[in-house]
Amino acid sequence: MVRAPCCEKMGLKKGPWTAEEDQILTNYIQLHGHGNWRALPKQAGLLRCGKSCRLRWINYLRPDIKRGNFSREEEDTIIKLHEMLGNRWSAIAARLPGRTDNEIKNVWHTHLKKRLEKNHVTPEIKGRSVDISTFDHELKTDQELVDSSNLAAGSDQTEEHRPISPQQCSSDTSSLITGDIDTSNNNMCMKIESSDDFPEMDENFWSEVLSADNSRIVSDFSAFGTEPQLQFPFSPLVIEVEQFYATNSNMYDSTEYWHDLFTRAGGSLDLLEI
DNA sequence: AAACGGGTCAACCGCTGGCCT
DNA sequence: TAGGCCAGCGGTTGACCCGTT
């Protein structure tokens, strides 16, 4: 497969954008949209490649871009999400309205990484990381997961709100995520068949999750780089992970947001307690 | 005032995966 | 099924800024 040349074409401009170019691009997209980035510069009369136009629009010209320094809250959110997701800047950016992946990446490398190093607060030290290989390697059926969850709920927590711990939520380190909703008791179960996109958590993390007194919320698997449509329903494990962070960062306080996610994933909000 | 060096960030590069034919 | 195109992603670069000497 031969890759088509991009900016290597003679006559295509590179480097910083001028105000005039910005205006041309903005005007064109506002009038016609950006159906085909490759064709756009020619149609708009810009001597740029489509890739450059796309980048300029997404990272700078888009009207919903938030300008200015990152707030402390935003920085904390990035740190938390980075612990969960790693260098998946687009996934992190999806959780921060108005911020681009490029911007978040820059902030991480120029501020946050150094701040963490200075404070000696690494994900490992903070206790949010554990090798998923510590999970059980035996796959369980949905019913077994429900049973194990219910069994574990025998102490001070209701069965509905009891998260399935790594030990309870069985997994295989090289498999896919599948599952079904058990609508009879509002519990959602899954078999984990892939750990590639799964956050890593350790005992401390689960202690924190278990101690959190939160209502059940739903999660977006896209945060882990997967398609919600394919991955739904969500695992109790992931729900509780998201629940934890949502509660601690006030990121997801919009019912509409969760409703939208749930709808996109093909489920019903009624199945959950929000 | 000039030189230097570190920090910042916009932009580029190259790769990947999805979609279409 | 293979090839080609495309958008999107993460890593990297380099120009610019600003504080220090």
Q: What is the pLDDT of residues A132-172, one digit of tens each?
A: 222 222 223 233 333 333 333 333 332 222 222 322 332 22
Distances from the Cα of A12 to the Cα of A8, A36, A46, A50, angstroms: 7, 18, 9, 10
Instruction: Select the more confidently predicted residue: A27 or A124.
Output: A27
Structure tokens at A240: 């509780």
Domain boundaries, chain A: 19-61, 72-126, 132-271
Flag whether pLDDT at A113 surpasses 50: yes
The residue-averaged pLDDT of A67-76 equals: 83
What are the tokens at A107? 């902030």
Distances A258 to A43, A117, A245 between C-alpha atoms, Å:
39, 34, 14
pLDDT at residue A120, rounded to an integer? 54
pLDDT over threshold 50, residue A176:
no
Q: Which residues contact A236 (CB under 8 A, 6 or more apart)?
A: A145, A149, A163, A164, A169, A187, A188, A189, A190
- A38: nt with nearest C1' to CA: C6
Structure tokens, A20: 């005039």
Q: In the structure encoding, which two tokens stand for residue A140, read together?
A: 């369980």
Residues 16-45 of A with CB under 7 A from strand C: 16, 35-39
Protein-to-nucleotide distance from the CA of A36 to the C1' of B20, whole angstroms: 14
The domain A72-126: what is its CATH number? 1.10.10.60
Cβ-based contacts (< 7 Å) between A 97-156 and strand B: 102-103, 105-107, 109-111, 114
- Show the CA angle centred on residue A106, arms to residues A3 and A93, nearest 5°: 80
User: Global pTM?
Assistant: 0.53
- The integer distance in angstroms from the CA atom of A94 to the C1' atom of C19 is 35
Tell whether the model's pLDDT for residue A178 goes beyond 60: no
Average pLDDT, chain A: 55
